[in-house]
Amino acid sequence: MERRPERTIDLGTAAAPRSPNAATEDGPGTPIDGWDGAVVAVLGLFDKGKTFVLNHLTDSRLPSGKKVSTKGLSFKHVDVDGTKFIVLDSEGSYAPVKVENELSVIEKEISERFIQDVIFDLSDYFLCVVNDFTSLDQRYLDQLTRSLQNSKKHFQEVIVVHNCKTVMEQEVMDHIFHSQILYVYGQGKAQTTRIAAPNPKTGELEAKDVLWFKTDFSRHVILANEDCDLGDRTNNWTFALLKNWLRSAFVPVNRRFSVLAAFDQSMETIRSAVVGSPPFWLRHIASTLAARDVGRDCLEREQAAIAQGDAAIIAFTDAWGGEGAVVVTVDAPTALEAMIASLIRWPR
């Protein structure tokens, strides 16, 4: 049976000014803004096991179904062994798209590009989930690491999780580690870290050495199939290492994260960058909207609003809580279309 959120908050009126002391809450003591903790983006191509990794990292089973499978962004405020994080999730790049016309695939690529820009702007740390490390994964990772090197972010490494969900034998795991990590990144260094984690068979805390790989711009760990002896012997300790890295994450002093404020600020950053010199993807979608005779009414969608004259965009947004986590979803593509519509010079 599909699990549904216990409580849902309608944030459609969130554009209205609020008192600084008036926190909107999903139940007692669970504010949807004023979150603390580093923002960790969970990235990867479509259907690589991001949900599996995310659930094990946060020690929770976040609600699933239509509410969570958003077209845009999903913000989850979680507590991992006493340390709070904002986990930023998305559908995954290169997901298949229903072809309705000759522009469907192009529009999908544009939407993904926009979402990736927002994720990069908002996040402090990046976790990239892959299966077999293909050239497509490698190009995706290379683009991300290059962007990080050109940024002012404090942590400029990508943590890569090789989720080998079909691997059940140690020999195969060793082969993948050597052929897809050591061979590809010859300038890096294999390392081991001793860390304690519960043994899934005995429940007892046990210390083991976890093998991982470090380059100048990335850290790589590997997971096996969770339903086999190899997974029982390795996965818990790999997740413990990942949690240890995240617990030591640097968080900007006195920052209190608000999903709506952060998303709006990111939209303004992107909007300011493209005004006057719009890139190809923005010019394309703007001309598409104009060709469809999209008028001012597109700025007045159900549970979506844009304040004309500024960049105060509130997209279709929902929030709910359950099992120690609060989830806020933002329909980023709708916000993108509204932003672009606002940039079109409408006839008086």
**Rounded Cα distance, 92 and 89, in Å:** 8
Q: Report in angstroms the alpha-carbon separations of 175 from 132, 192, 222.
A: 12, 17, 12
Q: Are 122 and 266 in contact (CB under 8 A)?
A: yes
The pLDDT score that the predictor gives to residue 30 is 43
Q: Report in angstroms the alpha-carbon separations of 72 from 100, 112, 336.
A: 20, 9, 10
Domain residues for the domain of 92 are: 9-257+317-332
Q: Which of 10-14, 49-53, 291-295, 338-342 has the lowest mean pLDDT?
A: 10-14
Q: Are 249 and 155 in contact (CB under 8 A)?
A: yes
Is residue 310 domain-resident?
no
Residue identified by tokens 């068979």 is 201
Is residue 287 domain-resident?
no
Is residue 144 domain-resident?
yes
Is residue 207 domain-resident?
yes
Identify the DSSP state of 219: E
Is residue 270 domain-resident?
no
Question: For the residues 309-336, what does the mean pLDDT come to?
Answer: 48
Q: How many domains does the chain have?
A: 1
Is residue 292 domain-resident?
no
Model-wide pTM > 0.75: no
- Say what percent of the chain tops pLDDT 90: 26
Query: Which pLDDT band holds residue 232 (cuts at 50, 70, 90)?
Result: very high
Coil, strand, or helix at residue 341? Answer: helix
Is residue 264 domain-resident?
no
Q: How far apart are the first and last CA of the chain?
A: 53
Q: Are 127 and 223 in contact (CB under 8 A)?
A: no
**Rounded Cα distance, 304 and 298, in Å:** 10
How would you list the strands of the sheet with 189-198, edge to edge?
A: 9-10, 317-322, 325-330, 73-80, 83-90, 38-44, 125-130, 158-163, 218-223, 205-214, 189-198
Amino acid identity, position 326: V
Question: Which CATH number fits the domain that encloses residue 126?
Answer: 3.40.50.300
Amino acid identity, position 87: V
Is residue 120 domain-resident?
yes
Quote the tokens at residue 207: 């210390």
